[in-house]
Amino acid sequence: MTLNLTPQYREADAKYRVAQTPEEKLAALEEMWRELPKHKSSEKLQAELKKKLSAARKAILQGGKKSATKADPFHIPKSGAGQVVLIGTPNVGKSSIVGGLTNAHVKIAEYPFATPLPVAGAVPYEDVKIQLIDTPPITAEHIPPGFPGLWRLTDALIVVADLSCDSVLDDVETCLSHISDRLIELTDGPRQLPEEPGATLKMPGLLLANKVDVPGSSDNLEMLRELFGAKVRIEPLSTVEAYGMAFIPELLFKMVRVIRVYAKPPHKKPDLDEPFVVPIGADIHELARKVYRGLETRVRSARLWGHGVVDGQNVHLDHVLHDKDIVELHT
Ligand SMILES: Nc1nc2c(ncn2[C@@H]2O[C@H](COP(=O)(O)OP(=O)(O)O)[C@@H](O)[C@H]2O)c(=O)[nH]1
Ligand SMILES: [Mg+2]
């Protein structure tokens, strides 16, 4: 019997290899543990992982009284369909974005450094939620310790800029250079782990140019586009104008690069309330791993309603799924 490690396991393993702090290591190991198929042929790996997990927990406890009593605030377990992290200099509107789209208790203020710690909110998009994280500001000189660790682990990054600010070009440069200093390259495409040590991690990313409602901001938007448009996708926004925020949930959903698939038990109606969320490009095998957790080899055939098939068509287990497909798994 082969090990059949999931792409999620391999991804967590890759995160573990680049983890820099004990907290990042532990987070990656916990993810590996969750994703590891728990059967006979993986027993050796299970034992190794358990050993590494206990060593990582010990390292955190021994890392001084402070870290033993206080968890790393930047270790934010993912929830929902994916996680997106905001990055920006002070007062650009990060908290206004999270506050406007989620029920999270964020502090919006006209003075800088009003957000001392990250705050996670859930942005509803149709039948899923995307986790959006408000964060403390960064400046050319200062990044909160632990914050860049979150940049590497998350699913997508959004740089927020304030178009009403004279220093907007420098502020964006500050954010982008901190990101590239951490060997992260923002992309319009999929997240891609470094191919070799020292290479860059490709991370879905974009720049939200906020406060377009402020008179005169269009000049700054034009300059931003000229200077950074080739490097990063730029979307104008105003958190104070209703239409501005309406397109963000879909944007976030597209950034985390997942699809929703509905499982249908044979001879029954599909459960259209609770989609299974799998990465773009996932096949029936991958869905089966999500649905049957460790017992996926039981799935022998599948029928599909959805993209590019006749309703109820039999498909191979390596058939690539699409958003909103309905799948009947046969064991
Ligand atoms: N004019 C305008 N002001 C905004 C907009 N978004 C946020 N603000 C204001 O900018 C200030 C800083 O906002 P906040 O969300 O706390 O920024 P943060 O420091 O990046 O979290 C507050 O006074 C907000 O009311 C916007 O789209 N237009
Ligand atoms: Mg804030």
167 pLDDT band (50/70/90 cuts)?
very high
Q: Is the pLDDT of residue 141 over 70?
A: yes
Q: Smallest Cα–Cα separation from 14: which of 204, 192, 256, 150? A: 192
pLDDT of residue 286: 92
Q: Which overall architecture, per CATH, does domain 258-330 show?
A: Roll (3.10)
Answer yes or no: are the C-beta atoms of 242 and 248 closer than 8 Å.
Answer: no
Average confidence (pLDDT) over 270-290 = 92
Pocket test for ligand 1, best of 89, 105, 108 (most atoms within 8 A of CB): 108
Q: In this predicted structure, what is the pLDDT of residue 287?
A: 94
What is the reported pLDDT for 236? Answer: 96
Q: What is the pLDDT of residue 68?
A: 44
Ligand 1: residue whose CA is nearest its atom 13 = 93
Q: How far apart are CA 142 and CA 157, in angstroms?
A: 19
- Does domain 7-69 bear CATH number 1.10.3720? no
| Mean pLDDT score of the chain | 91
How large a percentage of the chain has pLDDT more than 70?
A: 97
Cα 278 to Cα 34: distance, rounded to the nearest angstrom: 15
If one compares 24 and 286, the residue with the highest pLDDT of the two is 286
- Find the mean pLDDT for residues 211-219: 95
Beta carbons within 8 Å of 59's beta carbon, 6+ residues apart: 22, 25
Lowest mean pLDDT among 82-86, 264-268, 315-319, 323-327: 264-268
Pocket of ligand 1 from Cβ distances under 6 Å: 88, 90-96, 108-110, 114-115, 137, 210-211, 213-214, 238-240
- pLDDT at residue number 5: 83
Q: Give residue for tokens 């740089």.
A: 159
Q: In the chain, what are the domain boundaries?
A: 7-69, 83-255, 258-330
Distance 186 CA to ligand 2 centre (A): 22
Question: Distance between alpha carbon 79 and the CA centroid of its chain, in Å?
Answer: 9
Overall fold of domain 83-255? Rossmann fold (3.40.50)
Please tell me the residue having the least CA distance from ligand 1 atom 9: 93
- pLDDT given for residue 70 in this prediction: 61
Average pLDDT of the segment spanning 84-103: 97
pLDDT at 221 over 50: yes
